[in-house]
Amino acid sequence: MATPDIDSLEPITYPSHLAQATPPEAAPSPFPVAPNIRSSSRQRDVTMGSGSNTLVGGAFDRSMSPQPGVSSPVMTSRPGSGGPPSGIPRRKDSITATPELHDGGAKLRSNGTDRRFAAPVRAKDETDSGDETTRRRRAMTRSHREHGRARKQSSLPITATLPSGKISRAPAATMYFSPLPSHGTPPSQPLRAHTGTLVGDRIWFLGGVDSKNCWRGAAWFDTETLEWTALDTTGETMPPLRAHTTTLVGDQLYIFGGGDGPTYSNDVWTFDTVTRRFSRPAMARGAVPPPRRAHTTILYRNYLVVFGGGNGQAALNDVWALDVSDPSRLTWQEWRTRGDLPQKKGYHTANLVGDKMVIFGGSDGHASFADVHILNLQTLTWTLLNTEIKHNRLSHTSTQVGSYLFIIGGHNGQTYAQDVLLFNLEVTLQWETKHTRGLPPPGRGYHVALLHDARIFISGGYNGVSVFDDLWVLDLSAGAYLPQVTTFEVDEGAARVDTQV
């Protein structure tokens, strides 16, 4: 596989591989994995960060490793619902709860499932002391979320055999791409390596960079009204960030890592989506992860699980977990994993499926990867899947839709891809090809892609020449109503293959 063109890649983490004509930068990284936890990271809750310049290697502190037998409160993330844009087939608002189907024993949940979690209690601050504006905002936000949930399918579990012939599993052939018109006040510049996080019906955007400068603002895009809103924020001033991660926990967005230019961070920030206040949460003493960018973060129960990235000198493949059960005292743990560890990498993707974290692609700064690794968060064991077809990708997005991961864009080792790849989570654990209709967006990487209301929204990105400020939508039609896979099995012994990809 050819090495990506040096001038065509976003220079966020890697020294040579991603060095572009703007701020020169260094290399990516990979790292180990985590224990008993669940994640509500929606797709690109794949973000990147940085901090101390110490590489993690050699021995791990076993005392900091979570005990696989110990469980914690499970956290829930709720997608909301939004109406389709003009010209795009509208989903049926009358869809009701999926009936229980007894076709075996494996539990599935509908695509509208609320993944249950016990959100940590937010520490009180001065904004809670009777401030009428704050109370009104919080009530409006709660009402907005309830409205979104009411329009989604029931979250009642259904049961079906995996595989099953009684429920259609294949994505609809009518997936349709189109540009998405919008109005309002969008970010003041095109963006790449930014983050987008779904909160109710709105996608909240933070950070990112154009060809030279990081965006210091915050904005949301309303998926129902198609309106952009620039946000006035309060609190501490967050530094410029790109290639960071942003993850929703309760009302709070947790921001980790990232950086700008030669700076790599391992700081944790929070942004209250009700008060719109940035703050630095209190951290317990102890070990902290090295600074990094181009990493991924998922929410698994009451842990933010961070994997890989780069620290400016080398790629990483370590696994760290931030315990967010007590917002007044956040604690880092390094998790020691075993099995077929992934290569050190950054600009990969991570998806939580049940108690497993699925890692795909990425780069070490010199080549793009095609491997699919599964981390069992119960046993902290890595498994490398033997896929018949290899698809090299970095700076792509991966979004779970029913029993598939939809891979959009990214660099394939030769160019920025325009196609959509589907990875079957349920039956084959193999790649499939499905054709889309309509006008596809130009090939790109370092973009955001999020599923909401039977549509995948795509924002920004970079094609090696230009940074985009556009919005696109992939309408999934009936395909979005496939039962959502919440668990799958991998033979951790038989699935091992040659680690060279």
Determine the Cα angle at 184 with ends 220 and 222, to 5°.
35
**How would residue 477 be classed by pLDDT, with cut points 50, 70 and 90?**
confident
pLDDT the model gives residue 177: 96
Single pTM value for the model: 0.69
Structure tokens at 289: 């992860």
132 phi/psi in degrees, rounded to 5: -65, -40
The b/e string for 101-120 (b: 16+ C-beta within 10 A; e otherwise) is: eebeebebbbbbbebebebb
Res 362: pLDDT: 98
Q: Are strands 277-279 and 234-235 parallel, antiparallel or unpaired?
A: parallel
The two three-digit tokens of residue 26, written as one number: 């260094």
CB atoms within 10 A of CB 277: 18
Query: Is 427 a residue whose pLDDT tops 70?
Result: yes
Q: What is the pLDDT of residues 248-263, one digit of tens each?
A: 999 999 999 999 999 9
| pLDDT value for 484 | 73
215 pLDDT band (50/70/90 cuts)?
A: very high
Arithmetic mean of pLDDT, 334-346: 98
Which residue would you say has higher pLDDT here, 219 or 494?
219
Question: What is the mean predicted confidence (pLDDT) over 280-295?
Answer: 97
Structure tokens at 182: 């919008």
What is the mean predicted confidence (pLDDT) over 39-54?
34
Q: How many CB atoms lie within 10 A of CB 90?
A: 12
314 vs 170: which has the higher pLDDT: 314
Is 273's pLDDT higher than 50? yes
All domains in the chain, ordered by first residue? 6-77+168-485 (2.120.10.80)
Q: Is pLDDT at 97 greater than 50 in this prediction?
A: no
Rounded-to-integer distance, Cα 412 and Cα 421, Å: 12
Q: With 60 as the cut, is the pLDDT of residue 67 above it?
A: no
The whole-number average pLDDT for the span 463-479 is: 91
DSSP state at residue 446: S
Query: Which amino acid belongs to residue 428?
Result: T
For residue range 177-195, list pLDDT tens digits in order. 999 999 999 999 999 999 9
Poorest-confidence range of 132-136, 143-147, 153-157, 451-455?
A: 153-157
pLDDT band for position 490 (50/70/90)?
confident
Look at 461 and 60; give whichever has higher pLDDT: 461
For residue 287, pLDDT beyond 80: yes
Q: For the residues 343-359, what does the mean pLDDT come to?
A: 98
Higher pLDDT, 409 or 157: 409
Residue 69 has pLDDT above 70, yes or no: no
What pLDDT score was predicted for residue 117? 39
Per-residue pLDDT band for 473 (boundaries 50, 70, 90) equals very high
Q: pLDDT class for 281, splitting at 50, 70, 90?
A: very high
Instruction: For the chain, give the percent of residues with pLDDT over 70.
Output: 62
- Mean pLDDT of the 34-45 span: 36
Is residue 118's pLDDT more than 70? Answer: no
For residue range 224-241, what is the model confidence (pLDDT) as tens digits?
Answer: 999 999 999 999 999 999
Is the confidence at residue 5, as pLDDT, over 90?
A: no
**Would you put residue 274 in left (φ > 0), alpha (ψ -120 to 50) or beta?**
alpha
Q: Is 148 helix (H, G, I), strand (E, B) or coil?
A: helix
What is the pLDDT at residue 392?
98
Is cis: bond before 181, omega within 30 of 0? no
